[in-house]
Structure 1
């Protein structure tokens, strides 16, 4: 293991020297691999002080709240460490535009939930926001914590560029410096090494332990075998059939239990044909008559989300999202009168303190529109 760490340090040192003064951009998720990579970048830059550093975190606005809290606290410590050691650092949080947020698309526009065939969430919640953040860099090095062991697809991708490098359109050169590290290597280091500022990595280990439902590491004759294939992401993710990570975390966390139950309710509710209209948002007929969610269905989801906020004391919807949802609902009511106008519907009311409520009103107050 020591030889591999030395090799990694040499790789990074050569990279930083070769592209001296160019910004080093590290993609950080809060997981074990990106934590491991960021650790070695911080330690080396504190010594070399050759390159400015940018740490990029993609916040979808529906991140697992426990992981998100850990990430925010960890990034604060990264910033403090950099200030103390003289590293020129920027912490960049990539968030989707309000009009592209998960809840605006589902509750506002009535989008079907993402699935393995229709992953609209990837582009709207992660890819576009990250591209927008990275667009500020005219040149630089981006480091990603990809490992060839993770999946066959990733291994093939990395093998096509053995040095882990490719040229991005925006001028960033992308490297995967830990591509030849195993999961056991990562855990061995994190369990035996302190953070650059002297703490242990117990919080990261704890996240994986609770996600797995047991200790993620199985020590055997000084070797470390991971018992954890857990991944962290959006708590409301519907691309996976079952969110085992959230399920296991919820065992000892009442708020997460309610999120888990809501997520499962949402899947069943949105997949019910009775809650769908026979056309898509562009007006075209939908396959099997399972198009956009009806306005009544969206109202129901909103009610459930507001209840969830009260029971968990978590902010799930932001005031800006509520305003955007209100705007979309009113516009839809004008565009599709035969489907959306009812004798009584429920518009969104946003109070001065930012709270949201549903209020009964007459459909005539919206005005008539064309179908």
Structure 2
């Protein structure tokens, strides 16, 4: 990265920059979608647009401007508070000034949230080689919004706070997609979507100079924003709309649960600067990160993948299992700890009214545990009750529901017959799942899917692999004679 980039203000006046924004806005009928994350770059972009368009006659402000903020639902609580406060002001003052701006807070679908995937499905904590979170929680909500506006209007322009001086890679991507002779670029993945970057020639110092000398038009406090950056020693997590956008990096405003980074220096710095109530959040995040340790991985993750098969690879000391999702018992521990953190922070910081996990996510986790993990004990309501002392209006399930007593009876029968109890439960659940008329061949196929999964213990599988497949890399299933 070039740290000696010339200031944009040495070549252009603020009036010139405002005029360029007006020209781009008035050049065509494509509506604008402005990405706002609450950080310095997106704040500066929106502020520039606001002041530029304030001087356009209202009759010419025909095309809408959609201000979108993507909340992953696991953002650092202080940032969520800051963003939500500003979004309210942006909507209100835009209406008062007659600007064609509307505010849209985007969130992932409940099936795509962090907790539903981590605790519900057992996905392991994200790391650099398996970053399952970005696509589901950041890219998908923004892209779906943009695509809906393309369907409505034909084409859109996406406004991003990207700057060439951020990195050489960023500058290269911006050059690669630029349309010759235009201030617009093509979007890297979305057809009929174009990108405009009003900050592209700004340095970091230029951004702060602008924010600290020009007051916020929606009555935000840019000095508070600067103080937040100083407290967190942080960069910002940009609006991510495709995988070419770099991830948040080592120090950033982003998800408080992020385990892609080794240490969350941003949260550590906030705590050091007086936000001690965040200590339980940091401890939970570090507890989650520790599950990536090879020894811990063996304890908390199943030896089977989500497809029910055992996958393994050849290593120097023999065969090494490629582990699957978190075991159900560990997911119960994660849910218990998360609810305990939520209760603790609510006691220490009641004014935040913090919700780390929503009722909708708890309902979906319960459903997944019942269907996929065969949780006949119906553990989610019991855990919630034990930790909070409260209850939720849990959705009623149709049909007969088996419980702990039925499981204990089945376990006793299976032990006598030397049949894995989990296999019988899976077959029973498969039968219960036949709500609609299904062809005989499909029923047989689904029973076969259950039988093909691995039902032996981890020790039995490892012994069989060592005996039959000393040099093979791949996967083992119950039907391969292993």
With the length of structure 1 as denominator, give the TM-score of the two structures.
0.86
Match of 1:347? 379
1:194, distance to aligned residue in structure 2 (A): 0.7
Q: 2:102 aligns with which of 90, 94, 98?
A: 90
Unaligned runs of 5+ in 2: 1-8, 235-249, 313-319, 347-353, 395-402, 411-423, 428-449, 451-482
In 2 relative to 1, CA 47–207 (structure 1 residues): closer, same or farther, beyond 3 Å? same
Deviation per residue, 1:215-244 (Å, 9 max, x gap): xxxxxxxxxxxxxx9421111011111111
The equivalent of 2:201 in structure 1 is 180
SS of the equivalent of 2:336 reads: helix
Say whether residues 1:101 and 2:141 are aligned partners. Answer: no
SS in 1 for 2:307: coil
Three-state SS of the structure 1 residue aligned to 2:373 is: helix
- Say which SS state the counterpart of residue 105 (structure 1) adopts: helix
Matches within 5 A, 1:188-203: 188-197=209-218, 200-203=221-224
Find the counterpart in structure 2 of residue 123 from structure 1. 135
- Determine the C-alpha separation between the residues in 1 that align with 2:309 and 2:207: 50
Give the SS at the match of 2:157.
Answer: strand
In the TM superposition, what whole-angstrom CA distance separates every residue of 1:113-151 from its partner, at most 9, and x where no partner exists? 111111110111011111111122122221111111112
Asked if the contact 2:366–2:378 (Cα under 8 Å) also holds between the matched residues in 1, the reply is no
Match of residue 18 from structure 1: 27
- Picking from 321, 324, 330, the partner of 1:297 is 330
C-alpha change, 1:71 and 1:84, in structure 2 (3 Å) is same
Distance apart, 1:19 and its partner CA = 1.8
Per-residue deviation at 1:333? 3.1
- SS of alignment partner, residue 116 of structure 1: coil
Q: Is the 8 A contact 2:149 2:156 kept in 1?
A: yes
Please state if 1:306 is matched with 2:349: no
Q: Over the residues paired in the alignment, what is the CA RMSD in angstroms? A: 2.4
Give how far 1:353 is off: 4.9
The aligned counterpart of 1:158 is 174
Tell me how many residue pairs correspond in the alignment: 344
CA distance in 2 between counterparts of 1:24 and 1:152 reads 27
Q: Give distance in 2, aligned partners of 1:296 and 1:308.
A: 19
Is 1:145 equivalent to 2:164 in the alignment?
Answer: no
Give the CA deviation at 1:82: 0.4
Partner of 1:284: 309
5+ residue gaps, structure 1, are 214-228, 335-339
Mark the CA change 1:363 to 1:319 in structure 2 (over 3 Å): closer, same or farther: farther
SS of equivalent to 2:122: coil
What are the Cα deviations for residues 23-45 of structure 1, in whole angstroms up to 9, with x where unaligned?
Answer: 22100111100000000111222
Structure of higher CA gyration radius? 2
Displacement of 1:10: 2.5
Question: Structure 1 pair 354/5, CA: closer, same or farther in 2 (3 Å)?
Answer: farther
Distance in 1 separating the partners of 2:87 and 2:105: 10
Q: TM-score, normalised by structure 2?
A: 0.67
1:26/1:280 CA distance change after superposition, 3 Å: same
- d(CA) in 1 for partners of 2:137 and 2:220? 32
Separation in structure 2 between the aligned mates of residue 200 and residue 325 of structure 1, nearest angstrom: 39
C-alpha separation between the residues in 1 aligned to 2:301 and 2:147?
38
